Each structure stands twice: as C-alpha cells, then as structure tokens.
Chains A and B, each alone.
Chain A
Amino acid sequence: MSAPTRGRARRTLSAVVPPLVLVVVGLVVWQWAVTSTGVRPQVLPSPLRVVEQGWRNRELIWTHTVPTLQVTAIGFACSLALSWALAIAVDFSRWLRRALTPLLVASQTIPIIVIAPLLIIWFGFGLLPKVLVIALVTFFPIAIGLIEGFAATDRKATDLLRSMGASRWQRFRYVRLPGALPSFFTALRIGITYAVTGAVFAEYAGAKEGLGIFMSLQKNSFRTDLVLAAVVVTALLSIGLFGVTHLVERLVIPWHVKRRRG
C-alpha cells in the first residue's frame, strides 16, 4: 500500500517541481528588473506589489470572481450539451455528418474579437452574450473530440456486436460511447482552458460585473497592478478547473487512467 502511494507522490512531485522552479526564477528576474530600473508601477508593477495590492483588494476581486465563475459554468454547460447533441446526431446520420462538418469548421473562422461586442449590442449586458461567446470558443474542440472518438471505433468490434444481433443504438451504447470517452476527456481539458478566458473576454467587451470588466476598469485608471492580480486569479481558475477534469476522468473512466499509467 505504502510503496504505490509513495510512487504516486513522487510522480506528482516530479510533475509539479519543474514548472514551479521556472515560475520562481521568472518572478525573481521580474522583481529584480523592476527595482533596479525604477520603472513606474503604472507601467510595470513588481510581482510583490501585484500580490500586495491584490490581497488588499481581495474582497473586491472576489465579488467579480463569482460572476465570472457562474458565467463560465453556465456557458460551458451549454457548450457541453450542444457538442454532445451535435456529435451524437452526426454519429447516427451520415447526411448530418456531411452537412454539419463544414459548418463546424466555419464556426471557428468567426473572429470572436469582432463578434463579441456585436453580441452585446444585440443581446445586452446580461448572461446570453457571454454564454454565446463561451460556447463558440469551447464547443468545437469538444464536438470534434467526440465525433472522432465515436468514429475511431474498431471495425471488428462493430462486426462482433453485429454478429450478436446488436441494433445501431446498442452498438452506440455498448461500444462507441464508452470507447469515445478517453478522447472526450482530452477534448474537455482543451475546452475548459478556453472557457475561463472566453468568459473574461466576453466581460471585457461589456458587462456589469466580472473579472473581465474589472480588468477593463482598472486598466482605464492605470491600476496595472490590479489588472495583473485579476490575471493571476483567472489563471488559478483555469488551472483549478483543469484539475477538476482530471478528477472527473478518474471517476468516470478509471479503466483508461489505469491503462495509461500501466
């Protein structure tokens, strides 16, 4: 019992230490550069100042963090529902596959940076435009991951199920769906990292509350330190959600996680 636990601890440690070392080195260089050149904090605050000011304004930042988290959760949930529905529809209908695939790709050519302000003109400062932006940036990798996961099903496995007399739905349920889950979780991780950034970006373009509008306001009053403090919070949120997908993966497809390690 203790040997595998120790092994896992060592693996986790060896995964965390190298990036941490890089971050610390970067912060030291940054701090040293700011103090030795005497650059004004409105232009470039030192990391210590970012932390100090961020901590002093922690309640304000927190009141803007909660709405961003909410928008991210709702937007990502919609994106998940949309991508699952699309991927399943495409898997069951060759016609839909041909009809939808080019449209999916085309949806990724929309420049979000241009469309986000328009969405706010059309739908106001409420939830809807932000949910749309998040869905637009995250549903594509997830839908593609699912579609390709379904399609990667071994032809021989399909034949085996057919020889058992399985219907199309049974083949989906017994083979295609579970077989696609590893590729779904890979896509989910890509999607979730876009989700927080997407939410912040949508808020930046116009909102009543949230980290995005907070950054925009602080930038306009030259509080570069608070902008950067909000960036740190955004990064922590993304990393946290990324970690959650790993936990969920371990719960849903333990067989795959084990096999990958083994």
Chain B
Amino acid sequence: MGEVKLAVEDLHKSFRTDAGVLPVLDGVRFDVAPGEFVSVIGPSGCGKSTLFNAIAGLERPDSGRVVVDGRDSTGRSDPFAYMPQQDLLFPWRTVLDNTTLGLEVAGVPRRAARDRARALFGPFGLAGFESARPQELSGGMRQRAALLRTVVQDRAVLLLDEPFGALDSLTRTDMQEWLETVRTGFEWTVLMITHDIREAVLLSDRVLVLAPRPTRVHLDVVVDLPHPRGLGVITDPRFAQLEDVLLNALRGRRPEA
C-alpha cells in the first residue's frame, strides 16, 4: 500500500435512545490515498451520516481515530471541507460571497477570499454569476456553487454527502460528467457518500460498501477504469460487472470469488 492521506481507524459510535443503547459504528476502518476519490455506499439507515459526522469532527466517536497526513485529527474539522446534500446557499449573500463563507470564517481577508473564489468561477461554469443571488441559479449551478464553496477552503480532504442527491436525474448526470472532467485538473482527495451505485462507479477510484447497522466496511472494491471517464463508460462490460458486484454486496451477499 502506498501513501495514506486519510486513515479511519476502528471507529465505534453508539447513541443512547429511549429504547436503550443503539450501536451505529462497529469498527469502521479504511484508508484513502492522496488524490484518490473514494465513495461510500450502504443500505439506508446504516450509519453513513454518523460516519461522516464522526470523520468531519461534528461528532466525537466513542473510540477509534481519524488520521490525516499522519496527524491525529479525531474530533477536528479543520482538515476537512464538508459539502452537505442541500446546497445551503444563503439568500442574503451573493453567489460569490456564499462561496467565500468558509474562508471568511477562517479569517481570510475579504478581498483575498474573493480573489481565490473568483478564480474558480470559470472552471465551475459560474462565470458571470458572481454577484447574482443564489435564488437566480438553476439547481445544477447551485450545487456547483456549493462545491466551489467546499473546495476553495483548500482543506486536505473533501467530504461530499450525497452532493447530487437533491437534483433531478438529467441534471444529476450532467453534474457527474462535469465533476469527472473538472477533477482531473485538481488534486482533490475525496470521500463521497452516495446511494447511487452508478454514480459511485462512474466517479470513484474505489467504492466502500457498508454493512447494515451497526456498520463496518463490508466490501472494498477498486474501480479499475481509466480516467477521465465519459458517459460512454457505462456501456463497458466491466462497468456493468462492478455495478452488479456492488448491488449484490448492498443486498448483503458477498461476491463469489
């Protein structure tokens, strides 16, 4: 195994509810290499969001560690830039000022923050919409603005929580194609939650399948298809085979091998 950017080591987490203790994470462990795009899929309610919150430092795990670049980052949010499913663009800010929010919070002077964000408006297909209000943008553009707000923070790892889940299927396909193209120009290390198997295979270098709750990594699949992948790759027999393996794993069956 080569370099490791993000190491998730044996995360455990349970919640106290009225019905007793509810174990959610049961020893989740995996590594992500620098520049690697890893997707996490799992049956609904398996604890994907809890896992993400624990990695992003929004919730402390009961035990286990999150290590970024060799440093213990458990419970810390600063190595991660987080993109939620809803775009959460604020109507009282222009699109540009929405994208600089993370930098402003981090204390970057306003002008420098705007310059950094503005430089990304071209590659993100948002040029000319800097001073528009979010409500004037289409769904796909809003999602690209939200992704811009995430990557401009320049954190070590991007955490994308079903980034295209709220879009209609046509826009979603466009966005997947666009993300696959744009990411070749950057060196992002990405961890993405999705429930869309096709999206996972299309975008990822590796796909992790989580077991039902209490969850752990059930299967770790390498997607060995060359980048950049156009939509044509969907008809590749290896693509269909991977989809099949993942679907079976999601349903709780291990691949026969």
A-B residue pairs in contact (CB < 8 Å), sample of 20: A154-B88, A156-B86, A157-B88, A159-B82, A160-B82, A160-B84, A160-B88, A162-B58, A162-B77, A163-B56, A163-B80, A163-B82, A164-B102, A174-B90, A174-B104, A174-B105, A178-B90, A255-B91, A258-B133, A258-B135
B105 near A164 with CB under 8 A, answer yes
Give the A interface residue count (CB, 8 A). Answer: 23
Chain B residues with a Cβ under 8 A of chain A: 53, 56-58, 77-78, 80-82, 84, 86, 88, 90-92, 101-102, 104-106, 133, 135, 153, 159
A163 near B58 with CB under 8 A, answer yes
A160 to B101, CA, bound (A): 10
Contact digits for A144-180, partner B, Cβ 8 Å, 1 yes 0 no? 0000000000101101111111100010001100110
Contact A156/B88 with A163-B80, A164-B105, A166-B105 known, Cβ cut-off 8 Å: yes
Q: Which of B77, B90, B91, B92 contacts A164 (CB 8 A)?
A: B77
Q: Tell me the smallest distance from the CB of A165 to a CB of chain B, in Å.
A: 5
Q: Is A10 engaged at the interface, CB distance under 8 Å to the other chain?
A: no
Q: Tell me the smallest distance from the CB of A260 to a CB of chain B, in Å.
A: 11
Contact A165/B58 with A178-B92, A256-B91, A259-B91 known, Cβ cut-off 8 Å: no
A154 to B88, CA, bound (A): 9
Instruction: Write out the residue numbers on chain B whose beta carbons fall within 8 Å of the beta carbon of A160.
Output: 82, 84, 88
Main SS class of interface, A: helix
Q: Which of A159, A166, A178 contacts B84 (CB 8 A)?
A: A159
Q: Tell me the smallest distance from the CB of B6 to a CB of chain A, in Å.
A: 15
Best-buried of A159, A163, A256, A262 by chain B (most CB within 10 Å): A163
Instruction: Write out the residue numbers on chain A whose beta carbons fall within 8 Å of the beta carbon of B57.
Output: 163
Residue of A at shortest CB range from B94? A255
Instruction: Write out the residue numbers on chain B whose beta carbons fall within 8 Å of the beta carbon of A253.
Output: 92
